[in-house]
Structure 1
């Protein structure tokens, strides 16, 4: 494979895509002549747009397909996927039935997790070659190892610590003042991953730089407004798209938030961060001297996540404030 065509399949969620993008620089290092395409859900494609290592980002309208259930849309989507190939190697980084089916539509040379380590074991039926990487392993290591094994190289922890930013960053968004700021991520996919607004307000109030409150849904917007009403040191960001979110986090002095994509962006972009954990664990990040975890006392079984575990609320604001001041 002097000029291999490589397809990465990682459909969702946003945080998983952000934590997967680091593999691109290692593919380029070991396969400098490769053409690399990424297949994802359409709503997340803008996060990867403009990446210098990607030839194409192809968005699939999976949510629209699920909502509308139109045969014509399904037929067109399948035809578009089949037309993307042929690929020399297709890597399913997700290990779900839906991602395995998408990968197989791209061609026969699919590599993925084996049945014991895929999130959905039946996905392994669609792969030509497989890797056994325990599901409970660190997610960044899983991402790197599945790609490295598919392509015949390795990625060390030292290389991860010395990585280049995993996503491109543009200029500082226009709505920000020309002063250092802290990005505070208000929401997450589950309520149990969200640090309570009153406690976030207490954290913001004690920090030396103004806090920009990042939100995605209307519920999160309401929480952000409640936080801003409690402290003069925080203001609510406007509604922004994924490229602007990337730029906002990429210029922040520090990012604070729960276990969610926008918080993990800071690690991806080589910016300092504090990730707050209740029902999940630091398995979801690659800790560095500048990217740290603050955990509740909850005992977490990563194979049986309790989404009702609200223990994140037991993390004292003082612990977050102290860690933030150390990183700043």
Structure 2
């Protein structure tokens, strides 16, 4: 399909990590249609993670969490008005929410492509698009890129992207200096949105002790919620010497991207910061429990991944207990051994107390 597309809309309404796994689609479209302005429709609360991406012309946010039915309706109407003014000639849909079919029908793009979702086979859905692309690939990145097959594209970009401005790193470096952190630091984000994705706090403390004994400084990060900060404080309190917790809950996504980009190693669970680390090419140790560790793993070759299923059988998705820490079966000693593989030889051990 040879088309000189000039205005493209990509639709993806999922969580923060999913948005980064969509960036190869944006990059591939920009590579093949360099003159095109590429817009993205996504949830409002996920906009910050893509806010600095230079390949995206504009972001349009859909109201979701906390919005009333009236607010959602008003948001939908205003979005339709704004999107119609843009006169798209290509729409690429990567979302299975039913409302997308209605939205796409209200836009007059000549080419409308969607992935062919098995649970969206109604005539209304299928006739809302000009092309339905079959799924292909074992990983989310590959699956997302398969939506572009109807375009006949052969030149694909397969790297994820996390962008930030120079001032974001300048602020982080200033904060690190104030907290007494040098260049040889490791970022650990132990928190996730759901408990079944979390590891034991005392095991994180053991890993931190091992890293700091080798001379590495450890910076703990998290979201700003009370539960996240409680987790950070408990882990820090369990360490022989407290790691740096002064940035926990205080970094916006572009700043977190800058912080992780300059780290020597990132350690985390199945959450968005792991995908940030993959996008900025920082070495990764990630821990997965009762989730698809192949489909959702950080898209990186410089990674050691632990899956709880290698230690104990994991339940089927339908039997998942969301209040159980399935990662508990992963020993701290195994993760410590992984840090020794990914990090250079020890530095001179730190003697000063870590900043809070």
Structure 1 length normalisation: TM-score?
A: 0.86
Q: What per-residue deviation string (whole Å, max 9, x for no partner) do you get for residues 187-214 of structure 1?
A: 1121000112111111111114222111
Q: What per-residue deviation string (whole Å, max 9, x for no partner) do you get for residues 163-190 of structure 1?
A: 4x61223443131233221111121121
Residue pair 1:276, 1:312 contacting (<8 A) in 2 also: yes
Residue pair 2:92, 2:112 contacting (<8 A) in 1 also: yes
Residue pair 1:65, 1:74 contacting (<8 A) in 2 also: no
How far 1:273 sits from its partner (Å)? 1.0
What SS class does the counterpart of residue 43 from structure 1 fall into? helix
Q: What per-residue deviation string (whole Å, max 9, x for no partner) do you get for residues 21-63 of structure 1?
A: 1322222222222221111111111211221211112222233
Q: Distance in 2 between matches of 1:242 and 1:101?
A: 31
Q: Distance in 1 between matches of 2:81 and 2:296?
A: 35
Report the number of matched residues: 318
Counterpart residue number, 2:270: 259
Residue pair 1:92, 1:100 contacting (<8 A) in 2 also: no
Residue pair 1:213, 1:235 contacting (<8 A) in 2 also: yes
Residue pair 1:91, 1:150 contacting (<8 A) in 2 also: no
Matched, 1:210 2:205: no
* Greater Cα radius of gyration, structure 1 or 2: 2
What SS class does the counterpart of residue 130 from structure 1 fall into? strand
What SS class does the counterpart of residue 234 from structure 1 fall into? coil
Q: What per-residue deviation string (whole Å, max 9, x for no partner) do you get for residues 103-144 of structure 1?
A: 44444532111132x6x555555322111116x831111112
What SS class does the counterpart of residue 223 from structure 1 fall into? helix
Residue pair 1:279, 1:307 contacting (<8 A) in 2 also: no
Q: Distance in 1 between matches of 2:150 and 2:145?
A: 10
Q: What per-residue deviation string (whole Å, max 9, x for no partner) do you get for residues 280-300 of structure 1?
A: 123112554412311112545
How far 1:102 sits from its partner (Å)? 4.1
Q: Distance in 2 between matches of 1:87 and 1:270?
A: 33
Q: What per-residue deviation string (whole Å, max 9, x for no partner) do you get for residues 260-286 of structure 1?
A: 111111111221111211011231125
- Match for 1:190 among 176, 191, 194? 194
Matched, 1:283 2:295: yes
Counterpart residue number, 2:306: 294
Counterpart residue number, 2:161: 166
What SS class does the counterpart of residue 235 from structure 1 fall into? coil
Q: Relative to structure 1, is the Cα distance of residues 256 and 70 closer, same or farther in structure 2, using a 3 angstrom cutoff?
A: closer
Residue pair 2:192, 2:271 contacting (<8 A) in 1 also: yes
Q: Relative to structure 1, is the Cα distance of residues 184 and 79 closer, same or farther in structure 2, using a 3 angstrom cutoff?
A: same
Q: Distance in 1 between matches of 2:321 and 2:23?
A: 26
Counterpart residue number, 2:320: 306
Counterpart residue number, 2:330: 315
Residue pair 1:279, 1:310 contacting (<8 A) in 2 also: no
Counterpart residue number, 1:235: 244
Residue pair 1:138, 1:286 contacting (<8 A) in 2 also: no
Matched, 1:53 2:48: no
Counterpart residue number, 2:282: 271
Counterpart residue number, 1:28: 30
Structure 2 length normalisation: TM-score?
A: 0.80
Counterpart residue number, 1:91: 92
Q: Distance in 1 between matches of 2:193 and 2:102?
A: 25
Superposition RMSD on alpha carbons, in Å? 2.6
Q: Which runs of 5+ in 2 are unaligned?
A: 344-356
